[in-house]
Amino acid sequence: MDTKAAQYWKANLRLLISLLVIWFVVSYGFGIILADPLNAIRIGGVGLGFWFAQQGSIYVFIVLIFFYAARMNALDREFDVHED
Amino acid sequence: MDLNTITYLVVGATFALYIGIAVWARAGTTGEFYVAGKGVHPVANGMATAADWMSAASFISMAGLIAFNGYGASVFLMGWTGGYVLLALLLAPYLRKFGKFTVPEFIGERFYSQTARLVAVICLILASVTYVIGQMKGIGVAFSRFLETSYEMGLFIGMGIVFIYAVMGGMKGITYTQIAQYVVLIFAYTIPAVFISMNLTGNPIPQLGLIGTMAPGEPGAGMDMMAKLDQVVTDLGFGKYSEQVMGSKLNMFVYTLSLMIGTAGLPHVIIRFFTVPKVKDARSSAGWALIFIAILYTTAPAVGSMARLNLMNTIQTGPVGETTANIEYAKVPEWFKKWEATGLLQYEDKNGDGRIQYYNDKNADMAAKAEGFGWKGNEMVKVDNDIMVLANPEIAGLPNWVIAIVVAGGLAAALSTAAGLLLAIASAVSHDVIKGMINPNISEKAELLASRFSMIGAIALAGYFGLHPPGFAAGTVAIAFGLAAASIFPVLMMGIFNKKVNRAGAIWGMISGIGITMLYVFQHKGIFFIPGTAFLGDMEPDWFFGISPNAFGAVGAVVNFAVAILVSKVTAEPPEHIQHLVEDIRVPKGAGTATGH
């Protein structure tokens, strides 16, 4: 693998890992492990832990995917590996 | 017009629409049959993926699960959506770049082995067939309850409709039909939710109603809806809605993980990402799919909690313990009697007072208190999860046309998922087995014909199991997810992210991943689900760290990863050209149109 391709892949992995950390924190972290303490904070009529488990994590998932798609499109161009 | 006439009209109109689309979107080539010619716009593909993904279980069962499991049911909400993040980041763009027609084809080529391809075909067929049985059952039930036909007749009509558009149109027909089905099912789900949220909380947006306060005129007006619900259920000895867990926190963690990686490993979902024109479309299409899915999934917690509150308030009309606060059986609403007739709701007047007492008699404190009231046990002996969504419009007193749309929505959810699964099975048989292994020189025309016959075979098989549901039908969805999580997802991911994983590693990884998952399920639920053959009990204390068999797929996946990497370390590296192939799929450049060779 030449260095440019290796750099592209490294940049991709860096992005992937940071997004997967967020993915893990909002669902397993806020929604399950830390749900009880977070429930002390209220969002409307429900606890924050409950809200992340049944609403918030899903919204964050959507943002993560679109952010990844946009960042990767930019990376594709930067490293000149885009289609067409 | 009475309910039956309206239901016939609405369901008939949606079926006519699906058939019309089928005629318009006939498939002329194998490329169109397997992957819709790779010309589907990412937003359209996202919508079709959403319909493909949301089955009868999402539409009918999930809100019921949430209603009775409260916070514990979050595993389904996070598990069945979080998998799309894994798909978009770890699989979809690379598999699209690879540019072939099926999942086993990728596994066969990346691991340079027909054996690996065959193992993948077997995993795919097992996972998809077990999944499709549930859909067929859903179709039969919806017809028999609402159209007053027999279960068999309902099943045959459903099979006939799928037959027309799936056999004629293949992936192309299925994709455009699924878009129509998505529209039908999302309206069917959200309209009653809006009405109910409006009635209970005064807020027409269910996602806000969930965190809102009770509307004036409702019991507990001005109080937080969730606090009111917690109070109503705990007063009757049930678990506190907003805090009750499913098993344990560890079980919830592992269960969520199994559902997420199972979602990302289900072949009928993955092949949807082969249909978009470009690699970058595969990335964004997963996001669109999740938006369309999230509309239903973020509404479901509101539907579940409000349905539970409505149900409790219908039966317990005042303070617990006051004699007149329990509804008289003679005065129950019509929907109650209708669902009693189906056997999904059962009432037994244990203390002979003609009123209904619905409480948790397994809670010792509550049972003691209840004795003091002269109650002789919980009289709602059966409240099936599955009735919540279907009965919801009736419980809330909504007009007949809303009920008719809900029926059409349930059928759309079941039909769209069944068609997607059947295509995954048919393409594995015709493309991977017939073309890939038996007769590589088969002509395009002959392969197209073979794929249509495989589809007919798959529909017949699914119909047979729908008519004669095997004893394990209840455990099937768990198996489908367990299999996909423990076998397909790990090899796909390693195939892309680890160049050194070789043929032997992949094959042994898949076999040990599935093996341990099946063993765990069988030891607690019976060998091939035959009652009495389980050699360990199926209760929480018997489970490994309290992990339920349904949640074990994540452990199987970890075993798969570990075995594959270890075996690959002690055997020969993959050949040079395979390592180049992996480098090539990692960059989008040069994706072009897909080929079947």
CA–CA separation, B261 and B197 (whole Å): 33
Q: Does domain B3-309+395-475 have CATH number 1.20.1730.10?
A: yes
Which of A20-29, B186-195, B355-364, B510-519 has the highest mean predicted lDDT (pLDDT)?
Answer: A20-29
Nearest CA to B452 among B24, B30, B160, B18?
Answer: B30
Domain that holds residue A19: 3-78
Residue from B254, B587, B589, B593 whose CB has the most chain A CBs within 10 Å, to mutate: B587
| pLDDT band, residue B570 (cuts 50/70/90) | very high
Q: Is the pLDDT of residue B596 over 70?
A: no
Long-range contacts, stretch B197-206, CB < 8 angstroms, 24+ apart? B197/B302, B197/B306, B199/B396, B200/B225, B200/B306, B200/B309, B200/B310, B201/B225, B206/B299, B206/B302, B206/B303, B206/B306
Tokens 């069962």 identify what position?
B61
Q: 3-state DSSP call for residue B346?
A: strand
What is the least distance, in Å, from the CA of A81 to any CA of chain B? 5
CA–CA separation, B442 and B391 (whole Å): 52
For B323-353, how does the pLDDT look when each residue is reduced to its tens digit (9 = 90+)?
888 999 998 888 888 788 777 788 999 988 8
Alpha-helical segments (H) within B113-224: 114-146, 151-162, 168-201, 206-209
Q: 3-state DSSP call for residue A2?
A: coil
Backbone angles phi, psi at B328, to 5 degrees: -75, 140
Which chain A residues touch B252 with a CB distance below 8 Å? 32
Q: Is the pLDDT of residue B553 over 60?
A: yes
Which residues of chain B from 170 to 209 reach within 8 Å of chain A, CB to CB?
A: 207-208
Residue B224's DSSP bridge partners are B213
Q: Are B70 and B243 in contact (CB under 8 A)?
A: yes
| pLDDT band, residue B246 (cuts 50/70/90) | confident
| pLDDT band, residue B289 (cuts 50/70/90) | very high
Question: Among the listed ranges A75-79, B81-85, B138-142, which one has the minimum average pLDDT value?
Answer: B138-142
What is the least distance, in Å, from the CA of A48 to any CA of chain B? 10
CA B482 to chain centre: 13
Relative to beta strand A42-43, strand A46-47 is antiparallel
Q: Is the pLDDT of residue A31 over 50?
A: yes
Helix (H) or strand (E) run with residue B347 in it: strand B345-347
Q: Are B233 and B72 in contact (CB under 8 A)?
A: no
CA–CA separation, B478 and B548 (whole Å): 10
| Domain count for chain A | 1
Q: Is the pLDDT of residue B112 over 50?
A: yes
b/e per residue, B354-368, with b = 16+ CB within 10 A? ebbbbbbbebeebbe
Which chain B residues touch A53 with a CB distance below 8 Å? 71, 74, 77-78
Q: Is the pLDDT of residue B473 over 50?
A: no
Token couple for B271: 């092949």
Q: 3-state DSSP call for residue B10?
A: helix
Tokens 């279907």 identify what position?
B390
Token couple for B503: 């043929």
Does some domain include residue A33? Answer: yes
ipTM over 0.90: yes
Task: State mean pLDDT over B24-41.
Answer: 81
- What is the pLDDT at residue B578? 92
Higher pLDDT, B143 or B240: B240
For B150-206, how does the pLDDT look when each residue is reduced to its tens digit (9 = 90+)?
778 888 888 888 888 788 888 888 888 899 999 999 999 999 999 999 989 999 999
CA–CA separation, B460 and B417 (whole Å): 16
Does some domain include residue A83? Answer: no
Which chain A residues touch B212 with a CB distance below 8 Å? 44-45
Please state, rounded to an integer, the average pLDDT across all residues of chain B: 86
Three-class DSSP labels, B238-302 = CCCCCCCCCCCHHHHHHHHHHHHHHHHHCHHHHHHHHCCCCHHHHHHHHHHHHHHHHHHHHHHHH
Residue B206: CB partners within 8 Å, gap ≥ 6? B190, B193, B194, B196, B197, B299, B302, B303, B306
| Residue A26 burial (CB count, 10 A) | 22
**Triad B236, B241, B244: Cα angle to 5°:** 105
Q: Is the pLDDT of residue B533 over 70?
A: no
Residue B422: burial class (beta carbons within 10 Å; 0-12, 13-18, 19+)? buried
Q: Are B432 and B104 in contact (CB under 8 A)?
A: yes
- What is the pLDDT at residue B208? 96
Q: Would you list the DSSP string of A7-75? A: HHHHHHHHHHHHHHHHHHIIIIIIIIITHHHHTTSEETTEEHHHHIIIIIHHHHHHHHHHHHHHHHHHH
Q: Which of A28, A59, A68 sits opposite B89 (nearest CB)?
A: A68
Q: Are B118 and B105 in contact (CB under 8 A)?
A: no
| Residue B445 burial (CB count, 10 A) | 10
Which residues of chain B from 45 to 74 reach within 8 Å of chain A, CB to CB?
A: 66, 71, 74
**By CA distance, what is B281's nearest residue in A?**
A69
Residue from A20, A27, A82 whose CB has the most chain B CBs within 10 Å, to mutate: A27
Q: Which residues of A touch B (CB under 8 A)?
A: 1, 5, 8-9, 12, 16, 19-20, 23, 27-28, 31-33, 35-36, 39, 43-47, 50-51, 53-55, 57-59, 61-62, 64-66, 68-69, 72-73, 76, 80-83
Residue B380's DSSP bridge partners are B347
DSSP B84: H
What is the least distance, in Å, from the CA of A23 to any CA of chain B? 8
Higher pLDDT, B292 or B319: B292
Q: Is B286 on the interface with A (CB under 8 A)?
A: yes
CA–CA separation, B338 and B331 (whole Å): 14
| pLDDT band, residue B597 (cuts 50/70/90) | very low
- What is the pLDDT at residue B217? 82
Q: Which of B85, B257, B301 sits opposite A64 (nearest CB)?
A: B85
Which chain B residues touch A5 with a CB distance below 8 Å? 583, 586-587
| Residue A72 burial (CB count, 10 A) | 24
**By CA distance, what is B230's nearest residue in A?**
A46
End-to-end Cα separation, chain A, in angstroms: 22
Q: Which of A36, A55, A83 sits opposite B298 (nearest CB)?
A: A55
Relative to beta strand B380-383, strand B345-347 is antiparallel
CA B410 to chain centre: 12
What is the least distance, in Å, from the CA of B114 to any CA of chain A? 27
Which chain A residues touch B590 with a CB distance below 8 Å? 83
**By CA distance, what is B256's nearest residue in A?**
A28
| pLDDT band, residue B286 (cuts 50/70/90) | very high
| Residue B28 burial (CB count, 10 A) | 11
For B35-61, how does the pLDDT look when each residue is reduced to its tens digit (9 = 90+)?
877 788 889 999 999 999 998 878 888
Which residues of chain B from 245 to 284 reach within 8 Å of chain A, CB to CB?
A: 249, 252-253, 256-257, 278-280, 283-284
**By CA distance, what is A18's nearest residue in B?**
B89
Task: State mean pLDDT over B129-152.
Answer: 76
- What is the pLDDT at residue B48? 92
CA B515 to chain centre: 23
Query: Cβ of A82 and B243 within 8 Å?
Result: no
Which chain A residues touch B71 with a CB distance below 8 Å? 35, 50, 53-54
Backbone angles phi, psi at A47, to 5 degrees: -75, 155
Token couple for A36: 């009880």
Query: Cβ of B88 and A68 within 8 Å?
Result: yes
Token couple for B121: 């075909």
DSSP B377: S
Q: Is the pLDDT of residue B222 over 70?
A: yes
Nearest CA to B41 among B280, B294, B297?
Answer: B280
| pLDDT band, residue B8 (cuts 50/70/90) | confident
Does some domain include residue A31? Answer: yes
Q: 3-state DSSP call for residue B214?
A: coil
Nearest CA to B548 among B254, B260, B262, B263?
Answer: B254
Does some domain include residue A74? Answer: yes
Long-range contacts, stretch B578-584, CB < 8 angstroms, 24+ apart? B578/B110, B578/B111, B578/B112, B579/B499, B581/B109, B581/B110, B582/B110, B582/B495, B582/B496, B582/B499, B583/A1, B583/A5, B583/B499, B584/B97
Residue from B85, B241, B261 whose CB has the most chain A CBs within 10 Å, to mutate: B85
**Triad B536, B542, B546: Cα angle to 5°:** 140
Nearest CA to B302 among A26, A22, A77, A55?
Answer: A55
Tokens 């592992």 identify what position?
B254
Q: Are B451 and B172 in contact (CB under 8 A)?
A: no
For B375-422, how does the pLDDT look when each residue is reduced to its tens digit (9 = 90+)?
998 999 888 877 787 788 887 778 888 888 888 898 888 888 888 888
What is the least distance, in Å, from the CA of A61 to any CA of chain B? 6
Residue B316's DSSP bridge partners are B326
Token couple for B109: 């080529």
Task: State mean pLDDT over B245-253.
Answer: 89
For B305-316, how does the pLDDT look when each residue is reduced to its tens digit (9 = 90+)?
999 998 898 889
CA–CA separation, B449 and B249 (whole Å): 51
- How far lies B256's CA from each of A48, B58, B110, in Å? 19, 15, 29
Does some domain include residue A84? Answer: no
Which chain B residues touch A71 with a CB distance below 8 Å? none
CA–CA separation, A65 and B517 (whole Å): 30
